[in-house]
Structure 1
Amino acid sequence: MTTIIIEDEKPAARLLQRKLDKLNIEVGVMLHSVAESIEWFSNNEHPDLIFLDIQLSDGLSFEIFEKIDIKSAVIFTTAYDEYALRAFKLNSIDYLLKPIDEDDLAIAVTKYKDRLPKKETIKIDFDEIKKMLSNPFEKSYKKRFTVKFGQHLKVISTDEVECFYSENKGTYIHTKDNRNYLVESTLELLEQELDPDEFFRVSRKHLIPLVAIKEILIYSNSRLKVILPSYNVDEVIVSREKVSEFKKWIG
């Protein structure tokens, strides 16, 4: 079985590759943009299975299918929430919500393998999916995260989050009860998943919710310092280029 990953976030692509390795599925190629994918499919034999992110750095991945007649089976890896999944279900498409759970990944791969003897094909109505994804009235944002806590899984709602932060190449949730949890994501991805009215990326290292702000102080070099109730891993500084946008955000 030949498999490729199309994902613009390289850390997310490598993480998915490691999870597929555990299922003895070898990933032949990793592509990171619409343009790169179109070029690759134009010059290479198409794989049996594609793990496909929807939002790539240079557009929606559906543009690939508009340019190339791809016969491969598709499993979407998406940060979009329940509203988009209705479109996937209508088209009988497999999908995985980010961060990807290993058990869900194994189930999706098993579903694909079960279809192989039947040689079933899936007709994908990309116009319908794009319509649902672009409807602002249907927009939904991530409301909870599943994290590992020892040998257990813990569900954390966005209401419990005091901030998200990066540290030593990892991304963490700091909760209102003063605990830190590693999350399988990046701040870049979280910024897309969360409601921009409620969460703001103040710097390269911090993404914070409006309700968690305890105090805002004038800081050096035209920057601002945000005080949170319990987070003390590092200072939360609003970078100079984001100060104006931050002020608009807090109203």
Structure 2
Amino acid sequence: MKPALEGIDGAARTALQDELLCIGDTKLVLGNWFAECVMNGKSLPDFAAMLGMCTASYGQTRAVYHFLDTLDHSYGHLELGRGAGEIRSMDLLDAPPRNWQDFIVTTWLAEQATWSLASGFLRHRDRTIAGIARKIGEEAYFHLKYATGWMRIIEASDEERDRVDEAMRRRYPLALGWFGPTGSPDALFEAGLRDDPIDDIRTGFAREVHDVVTSLGVDVDVLPEPGFGPDWRPDARRTGELPARLFEVIRFKDQELAR
């Protein structure tokens, strides 16, 4: 089945693929976070949950890549042929977690942010895009439940709540910044390719975060604002390129092992 994107101009077509690639690449890196950190789980259920979230994230990535292969990209190149500067993952995930609380906060923010962005395609004219968005939402529901369950446990410890506050101060501005500067043009919404304006999606994400962390004593309103320097890349929704050490973790080492 061909994508139902006939009649859209080249700029909108490119912007849509950029947006989907940001989601797919973020899920790729997030899956590697779960894989790399699984042995830090606190119990057998943690191991099972993290491995499940890892495979779900990889599955979402490959669904995005397969769809883009029907447009202007090559699946083989997306999965195996790109360098660090071509990976468009959220820079929230660039630095490894410092502790368990940081891991929970960061993966939760990444899940919530990618689901928020994907939710803007739930009513997309192309059924494949809408289906990918719906699947991300269905799986994010359980991933977010896992993280918020851990946050309820963390509430009981002053030391652990302090670690959450520290993680939020470092990570939340990066997660919020993924949606770009407030008031930026939204070519996809204007072209009818996104259900809601990106500013509304950004606001919804911030509201979801606020509702979860308030019980942990974190005031989202006093956290640092996102910064957008000269190396901010709107098409990749990140600053700069993927760190070399992280790229070595996520890339396939042997093409024969990729299938």
Q: Is the TM-score greater than 0.5?
A: no
Normalised to the residue count of structure 1, the TM-score between the two structures is 0.26
